[in-house]
Chains A and B, each alone.
Chain A
Amino acid sequence: MSALIMHVDMDAFFASVEQQANPALRGKPVIIGGRDNKYHSIICAASYEAKALGIKNAMFSQEALRICPQAIFVPADTAKYVYTSNQIFAILKSYTPQVEKFSVDEFFLDITGSVGLFGSVENLAQDLKRRIRQAFGISCSVGVAPTKLSAKLMAKLKKPDGLLIADRAQVLEILQDLPIEKICGIGPRLKKRFHQLGILTCGQLAQYPDDILDDHFGVTGLWLKAICQVQDHSAVEYFEEKNTLPKSVGHSQTLREVTSDQPYIRSWIYLLAEMVAQRLRQKGLQGRTIYFYASDGFEGGYAKRKTFHEPTYDGQEIYQRCLEIIRLLGQASLTVRVLGVSVSNLSAADSYYLFEEQNKRDRVLKAVDQINHRFGDWTVVPAALKAAVY
């Protein structure tokens, strides 16, 4: 029996939640963006009514409001979405223990072993859709196929509120004439390069010789070919796999506007470093490799990773390492809109230090974590974060 992977994709998730919460928004073009300023934000979700008017996710809010002045801007309320996402995750866990939270609004389920309990794949999928709708009044699209990426594609083809179940032969048939850009991971640049080779559809990519793909695209080309042949068998990574360390922990932030204000930028880098560090400590991890990314939002940005000798879970240290990376990039003065910091090369945290200074610092971090855990995030913050947080 081949694997049965289900992909559950919430339809216009943030916008649907807001429309459900506020009946006055239903049936109207709704766009969700940052809480700072509706004219200097990135659209993180748009309702289907807004999408029908040409508004897309990740568009600048100014552009979205120019395209559709009647669109209703709603500041994102992350707590609402995170809670809903966690509750949906709990519902999904009642169908199989093997559930992967791929993002806040996307989940993979390996239902190979549990489908028998529900009679059929369709019964399981319909029941799951009904329960989510009953609990939150919002819809999802479901795709079922032998691999994760083909399941994701099936869900995407039936949006909104759809269900598509396909075996390998059916997926291959669907892929035959499907434009390659429909595959997750193929953006405009990659699409152009495939087109230059005469590869327009997934069916063509599935037949393309390995050596030529390898020459042009390396392992990515072969991986994409495997997807088009429904042979990408990456496993559903469910939470209970405690022994599996995450590959990296990172955060990024789009600022209100492009800025060259160096103290402001540095305080944001520090805030991102603190956020990453806090999550590392929560997970009992530390990391050696720091990745820093900055972009003005228009042209390609600056990005560099560097591996350090000592692992860390200290935000101040991660921040200092980011500054070192900036120096290595030769950027004395940054002009940025988007910033990102991540830590990889992770290992279990080990907080025994040779020098007392480091032990003291470690005790401070633990005390701060305890205070913030009790009284709420960012109750105690480094003073250097003032410009970013307040």
Chain B
Amino acid sequence: MFNSDSRWDRQLPSQGYEEDMIEVGALFKQGRIIPKAFIWKNRKYQIKEMTYHWQERRGAEVLYYFTVSDGVNLYQIHLNNRYMHWRLEKVCPL
């Protein structure tokens, strides 16, 4: 039986990623997390679209990932369920 869960590259450092702490305003609705806005480096970014979401388990921690856009850039952010902090991982222009 195929097992898609097994992977070895979890701990490989990703290149070009930001790792900044951010503050996020999010809606928790019917078991879903919907980020609405975030503050990064004292500037507020209004989220216009969430393009994708996924989760990754790292040991006992679960990271909830979102790719969101403010209409100008695309941001990859995540919520760590153990520390309850949000981080910005990646930014690229739309």
Contact = CB atoms under 8 A, between A and B. Distances in A.
B67 to A, nearest CB: 5
A182 interface: no
B84 interface: no
B73 to A, nearest CB: 10
A324 B58 CA distance: 34
Contacts of A81: 4
Interface in A374-390: 374-379, 389
B6 interface: yes
Secondary structure at chain B's binding surface: helix, strand, loop or mixed? Answer: mixed
Given A23-B74, A23-B94, A35-B14, A82 B4 contact: yes
A307 to B, nearest CB: 22
A80 B78 CA distance: 13
Nearest to A102: B2
Given A79-B54, A246-B1, A379-B59, A35 B94 contact: no
Contacts of B42: none
Given A20-B52, A23-B51, A374-B59, A35 B3 contact: no
Interface in B38-83: 51-52, 54-56, 58-61, 65, 67, 69, 74
A309 B58 CA distance: 36
Nearest to A247: B1
B54 A24 contact: no
Interface in A255-301: 271, 275, 278-279
Interface in A123-150: 136-137
Contact of A378 (B2, B5, B10): B10
A191 interface: no
Contacts of B69: 23
B59 A375 contact: yes
B74 A376 contact: no
Contacts of B59: 372-377, 379
Nearest to B49: A23
A83 B56 contact: yes
Nearest to A135: B53
Contacts of B9: 35, 78
Interface of B: 1-12, 14, 51-52, 54-56, 58-61, 65, 67, 69, 74, 92-94
- In the complex, the 7 A-B pairs of residues with the closest C-beta atoms, listed nearest first: A376-B59, A21-B52, A79-B56, A83-B54, A376-B58, A375-B59, A104-B4
